Amino acid sequence: MNLFTRGLAAAALLALPLTTATSASAVPDAVAAPMSLAESVRVLPVAAEDRTGYQRTSFRHWVDEDRDGCSTRAEVLLAESRVEPTVSGKCRVTAGEWFSYYDGATWTDPSDVDIDHMVPLAEAWVSGASGWTSQRRQAYANDLGAESSLVAVTDNVNQGKADQDPAEWMPPLADVRCTYAAEWVSTKLRWQLTADRAERDALARIAEGCGHQNVEYTVAP
C-alpha cells in the first residue's frame, strides 16, 4: 500500500498537485491529465442526494487489508507523523507528531487525532456509494492509495465537520481552503462520485480564488 507525506506538505501550507481517480470502470492505473481546480469542478457530475438506507456500518473501516498487523488508522498515523512515531505491541501508535492542516494545530498524542474521510462516508453514500458492493465500500473507507482520501486532523475539528460537504463546512484555517477543495474534488473524481448542485456551486466559488491549485487523479482500483 502507498504511504504518504501529508504532514510535511501540510505544515508548509502549500497547494500541491493531488492524486485521485476518474471512474471505477476505467483501467486501474490510468492517470488523468492535471486540471485546474475550476476545471475539475466543472467535470463533477451533478445529481440529487438520497440518504435512504445509509448506515455507517455499511462501510467497514479501519481494517488491516495487507495483514501486516496495522489497521488503516494506524497506517495513516504512521505515515503522517512528522517524527519517528512510538509504537507498542503489534501496531499500537502511542506517540508521534501530527500536523492538522485544517486548523494548523500540532498534536503528539494520537488520541487527539482523528482520521478524517475527506469525503465522509455518509456523503459518499448519497453520492453513489449506495449502489456499490460491500467490498467496494470497504475499499473506499480504507483507501491508502491517494493522499486526499484519509487525513489525520484535530479530533474536534473533524467532529465539527461531521458529514457536511463544502457548501456547509470548510476548514477554519482560510489559507488551506483551496487545498481542501481540491482534495475533496479529487476524492470524488477518484471514486466517480457525484455532487449536488449546492455543493458544486460552492466549490466553483472557492475555485475562483484558487488559480494555481491543480488536481490530478488516478483511477481507484
Question: pLDDT tens digits for 107-147?
Answer: 999 999 999 999 999 999 999 999 999 999 999 999 999 98
Question: pLDDT tens digits for 158-169?
Answer: 999 999 999 999
What is the number of other CB atoms lying within 10 angstroms of the CB of residue 82?
16
Residue 74 lies in a domain: yes
As for how many domains the chain has, the answer is: 1
pLDDT of residue 217: 87
- Rounded CA gap, 218 and 180, in Å? 18
pLDDT of residue 219: 84
The pTM of the full predicted model, rounded to 2 decimals, is: 0.86
SS3 87: strand
- Rounded CA gap, 30 and 102, in Å? 30
Residue 221 lies in a domain: no
**8 A C-beta contact, residue 151 and residue 116:** yes
Q: Is the pLDDT confidence value at 14 over 60?
A: no
Average pLDDT score over residue span 20-30: 36
pLDDT of residue 84: 97
Residue 1 lies in a domain: no
CA distances from 39 to 72, 139, 188, 199, 219 (A): 32, 27, 14, 15, 18
pLDDT of residue 30: 64
Residue 53 lies in a domain: no
Residue 54 lies in a domain: no
- Rounded CA gap, 106 and 128, in Å? 34
Structural domain range at position 39: 6-48+59-215
Residue 34: pLDDT band by 50, 70, 90 thresholds?
confident
- Rounded CA gap, 39 and 143, in Å? 24
151 compared with 33, residue with greater pLDDT: 151
Q: What residue type is 36 in one-letter code? A: S
Average pLDDT score over residue span 37-51: 96
Cβ-Cβ contacts under 8 Å for 53 (sequence gap 6 or more): 125, 130
